[in-house]
């Protein structure tokens, strides 16, 4: 297996984790648990949906990264 596949997989996992953290922060701001009350995201329930979408995207990116990191070379 090429090393670039392992590196790409690792970077995708890191990016996916960052996306998940951002989605959680967006959700917490949207339900008024964190952040300044002057923020446009504070107590805005649209950002709950946006946060969930971002978490879903982050999870997908992590799964792709795990696949790339663990897949075996298949010779056709």
pTM score, whole prediction = 0.82
pLDDT of residue 76: 40
Which parts of the chain have pLDDT scores under 50? Answer: 73-76
Q: Taking Cα atoms as reference points, which of 44, 27, 43 lies closest to residue 19?
A: 27
Alpha-carbon distance of 49 to 74, in angstroms, equals: 39
Alpha-carbon distance of 76 to 62, in angstroms, equals: 27
pLDDT of residue 69: 85
pLDDT of residue 2: 56
Task: Supply the mean pLDDT for the chain.
Answer: 87
- Is residue 59 within 8 Å of residue 38, measured between CB atoms? no
């Amino acid at each position: 297996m090429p090393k670039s596949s392992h590196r790409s997989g690792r970077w995708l996992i890191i990016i996916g984790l960052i996306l998940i953290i951002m989605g959680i922060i967006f959700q917490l701001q949207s339900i008024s648990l964190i952040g300044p009350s002057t923020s446009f995201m504070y107590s805005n329930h649209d950002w709950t949906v946006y946060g969930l979408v971002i978490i879903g995207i982050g999870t997908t990116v992590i799964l792709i990264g795990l696949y790339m990191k663990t897949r075996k070379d298949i010779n056709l």
